[in-house]
Structure 1
Amino acid sequence: MLRIPGKLDLNNQVDRDISLVPLRGTRALVYPGNLRLSGRKVAIKVFRFGPPTSEQALKRIYREVASWRELHHRNILPFLGMTTQFDYTISLVSEWAAKGNAFDYVQSQAVDPRPLLIGIANGLDYLHGRKIIHGDLRGHNVMVSEDGQAMITDYGVSSLVDAEFDQNAAISAPGGRSIRWVAPESMESYGEVSIQGDVWTFGMTILELFTRQPPFYYISGLRAVIGRIMDGQPDRPNGPATCFRMTDAWWNLCCLCWARDPWQRPSMPDIIRIIERMCADFYEIRGFLLNMLPPCFVFQVYFPLR
């Protein structure tokens, strides 16, 4: 195996905590750990299949992840480096997120998903501005910091792993959960990723976090899920908890993201402008209502933008 470049090399600098059950993803196991010198808590993503065997593939991986280390944005989970000291394969080391992933975080009815979605939109816009395609955006790939800030993770991992790691292992990995977020054109082009595909998955992530369920959760079986995706966009949810916050404006944004023609979908800057307009309209209406209410009434709307 090639030696990891110096600025990425965390060999013999990180300890893995195996006393806890790791989080299981389609491609990796995620363990808590610590940097030895500082004691800083980190997340160690250990791939579930062996490393690439070709020098060319390893060089591409090192080149790709080196660019991730240069990403600096409050809605991007900081990537710290790599190690080969665990389970005979490559592991990626990132900052630890105190509140776990966004999907688990919103299972509490008290959590409003809208501030998270605003952060996800900003983070995805940052990635696209640097020509980075996420390829697998969903609630489990968004972490939540101690102060409730959304931080996108696993950016670029999907296409990198599928292209450079052991192909048989990658194909056999259980990807049934993430297929529910995938754009129709990706089904037709053998999993090719694109900026427009990321926009589709952002719409699916909106739906996921509002409903607190994976897209098409009521459909089982890979073939049936793919068939439903190819048939058209999801039906509008009607659960009381979802309807309370998923206004017509948010649903219309989802529908824009799900345009069947990828080139008809808005860009992330367009989406951010739409969200900003929604927020401005919200506070304008809120101020009007507050001025109209008699002093004896207390009117409070929960929409914490942080």
Structure 2
Amino acid sequence: MSSVFEIPICVPDLTDQIVKDNPTPVAAGDYADIYKCSWNSPSESSPVAVQVVRVRHDSEFLPKKGDELRQEIKVWGRLQNEHILPLLGIVHGDDPLPGLVSPWINNGSLIELLKSHHETLTRHERFRLLQDIASALQYLHAIAVVHGNLSGHNILVDSSLRAFVKGSGLSTMLDEIAESESYEARQGDVPWRAPELMKGNSSGLPTSQSDVWSFGCNMIHVLSGQEPPEIPAATAAAHPYQSRVPPFPQNVSKEDLSFLQQCFSIRPADRPSADQILAFVREECLRCMPEVPQTAEATEFSQWHS
């Protein structure tokens, strides 16, 4: 199926330029494996990540997985924002579906970064990470795209501590969700999932408001180092709203706490918009920006021009 997979014209086929560094995946999720590869373009060789959907050639789910992958490529391939990981192209191999090629990010996921660097991050670095995530979210919502799985697994951080949201997974056009009677939402990472997406609540479809709930979970994680807790299925089913609100960290400012409480409003319509999120974290990022020491020359210059 991979060799005849219909590729959107905006996404290049890089099959002849991609070489696996190792046949063993470096990471594996619920639906896909990630391989570290080399992209040998005509001008240079660059490390890249290739995500391959895990499905057998004889699987009855192959047509459905293929349709989902086409939709993912269609949406991800058109996203252009400095804090959304770009889709560089696709690659055909032995698997039934093509792999998705994106830049290789050395520091890995936000979860991995916070496990190893939480104690050393400054408040400014934390809010700069949140500003990067909010910038990506604001862009998505402005073009009517829901991410749907904004978990720490889908946020990558580079060596300069800048964050990039993965466009793969649940990115879906809002108008297509509204018009599709057969749309089935793949469940996002449970601890980051808004209560209205739990089974038995509403339609279970991701929305821009459920993305905001997930952002709040990431904000708590970035500020406190606490991952959203796993909730037993029975508890979540019996008390979907009360059990889903993560515990608020004790060492945050009143302003941070007030904003977090808005992100976790039970009524989705009461949650802040992505524009409001970006404005809040950008202001906090500027507020805690470290002062740059002035040199003697700069001090003299400011005296002459005061």
Give the TM-score taking structure 1 as reference length: 0.75
Taking structure 1 as reference, are residues 208 and 50 closer, same or farther at Cα in structure 2, changes over 3 Å only? farther
Q: Does 1:144 align with 2:144?
A: no
Residues 145 and 171 in structure 2, CA contact (< 8 A), matched pair in contact too: no
Aligned CA RMSD, in angstroms, stands at: 3.2
Q: Does 1:94 align with 2:99?
A: no
Name the structure 1 match of 2:52: 46
Name the structure 2 match of 1:78: 86
Q: Does 1:231 align with 2:242?
A: yes
Describe the SS at the equivalent of 2:48: strand
Name the structure 1 match of 2:120: 110
How many angstroms apart in 2 are the aligned matches of 1:276 and 1:111?
17
Letter in 1 for 2:49: A
Q: Equivalent of 2:264, from 258, 267, 273?
A: 258
Once the 2 structures are TM-superposed, how far is the Cα of residue 275 of structure 1 from its aligned partner?
2.3
Residues 20 and 35 in structure 2, CA contact (< 8 A), matched pair in contact too: yes
Name the structure 1 match of 2:216: 203
How many angstroms apart in 2 are the aligned matches of 1:106 and 1:118?
16
Identity of counterpart residues, as a percentage? 26
Name the structure 1 match of 2:5: 3
Aligned pair count?
Answer: 267
Letter in 2 for 1:182: R
Q: Does 1:192 align with 2:200?
A: no
Taking structure 1 as reference, are residues 59 and 229 closer, same or farther at Cα in structure 2, changes over 3 Å only? closer
Taking structure 1 as reference, are residues 226 and 252 closer, same or farther at Cα in structure 2, changes over 3 Å only? farther
How many angstroms apart in 2 are the aligned matches of 1:18 and 1:191?
38
Task: List alignment gaps of at least 5 residues for structure 1.
Answer: 288-306
Once the 2 structures are TM-superposed, how far is the Cα of residue 16 of structure 1 from its aligned partner?
1.9
Describe the SS at the equivalent of 1:152: strand
Letter in 2 for 1:39: S
Q: Equivalent of 2:140, from 123, 127, 143?
A: 127
How many angstroms apart in 2 are the aligned matches of 1:106 and 1:93?
25
Taking structure 1 as reference, are residues 49 and 133 closer, same or farther at Cα in structure 2, changes over 3 Å only? same
Taking structure 1 as reference, are residues 159 and 50 closer, same or farther at Cα in structure 2, changes over 3 Å only? farther
Once the 2 structures are TM-superposed, how far is the Cα of residue 15 of structure 1 from its aligned partner?
1.5
Letter in 2 for 1:16: K
Name the structure 2 match of 1:68: 76
Describe the SS at the equivalent of 1:136: coil
Residues 139 and 209 in structure 1, CA contact (< 8 A), matched pair in contact too: no
Q: Does 1:178 align with 2:189?
A: yes
Q: Equivalent of 2:28, from 16, 24, 27?
A: 24
Give the TM-score taking structure 2 as reference length: 0.75
How many angstroms apart in 2 are the aligned matches of 1:191 and 1:269?
24
How many angstroms apart in 2 are the aligned matches of 1:104 and 1:59?
31
